[in-house]
Amino acid sequence: MDNSFFETLAVPLPEDIEKLKWRGDFDRAVRRIDSRLKRDIPQALRKRLMIEQEILKRMPGQYPYAWSEALDMLRDNVRDFKDSELETLWEEDAVDWIYVDGEVRFRSSFLKNVLKTRKEYENRALDRELVRSKAENFGLLNRTIASMKEQGGAGCRFCIRGTLGIQEEAEREGEDIKVYLPLPIEYAQIKNVKIHSVRIGEREAEKQEYTIARADAFQRTICFHTKHRKGQKYSVEFSFENREAYLDFSHVGLEHSGEKHGGEKQGANGLAEPADAWLAQQQPHIRFTPLIRELAAEIVGE
């Protein structure tokens, strides 16, 4: 799959598959997709269905908690929590949930989100550590904003080591293996990416044992290609600078925002794009739907 597949997320699913998905009948929905893919269908729909297969495989694992489990978690973490309160949160769509095999299941992060977004539950949290980080994060955010206003921006240098090991039951001694680890792309505010160390096990890797994708690759990785030894791990250490300018939109016109390069702006992966591209649709997530158009007209008073 390449990036063109993700653009098709704006393509509606066939009605039967959509119904099965939102009922939580994921296995049957995947079988329906398999059947559709055997037919002669438009390429856009084919790509959409192939992506949906991957989405459906992952969704159940992201929503692990049954109603009773969610209720127990809230009782254990929120003072005097009543059963009816979960019903209210659910009806107000204040907790992220889906149906799995026809039963309500809550997302793994639902408790954290409730405490973060609902002040009344934050105040009743029994474990103050669950909410202390929220205050610390807001404090850091406010200090950073003030500093960026004063200095015109902010920047940091990060040094990261990524390591991947193979589960013991999956190891195959002496067999060829390919291992991919992510690397940052140099674009926008990300600059000066440097690779400091590439290791296989306890030694530095040989040049012929790995390949580093170019700096502007859409999904930049380092690929190890070597023979695997039991217990062997694969790691890369790299650094990069992340610097962002502060723009005060109450004083700066839209035509001055962003980095300009000869009448163009720097878009994803460092590729130059026309300035008006930032005002255009970008499927699948930026769409000028009828609702968005009506809302825009309402805001400007047309």
Token pair for residue 70? 């969610």
* Residues of the chain under the 50 pLDDT cut: 256-264, 268-271
Q: Quick check: 148 and 164 in contact, CB under 8 A?
A: no
The total of other beta-carbon atoms located within 10 Å of residue 183's CB is: 21
Q: Which of 185-219 are b and which e, b meaning 16 or more Cβ less than 10 Å from the residue's Cβ?
A: bbebebeeeeeeebbbeeeebeeeebeebeeeeee
- For residue 136, what pLDDT is reported? 84
Strands 203-204 and 190-200: antiparallel
- For residue 277, what pLDDT is reported? 67
Cα–chain center distance at 185:
16
Exposed, middle or buried, 20 (CB in 10 Å: 0-12/13-18/19+)? buried
- For residue 188, what pLDDT is reported? 81
pTM, full prediction: 0.68
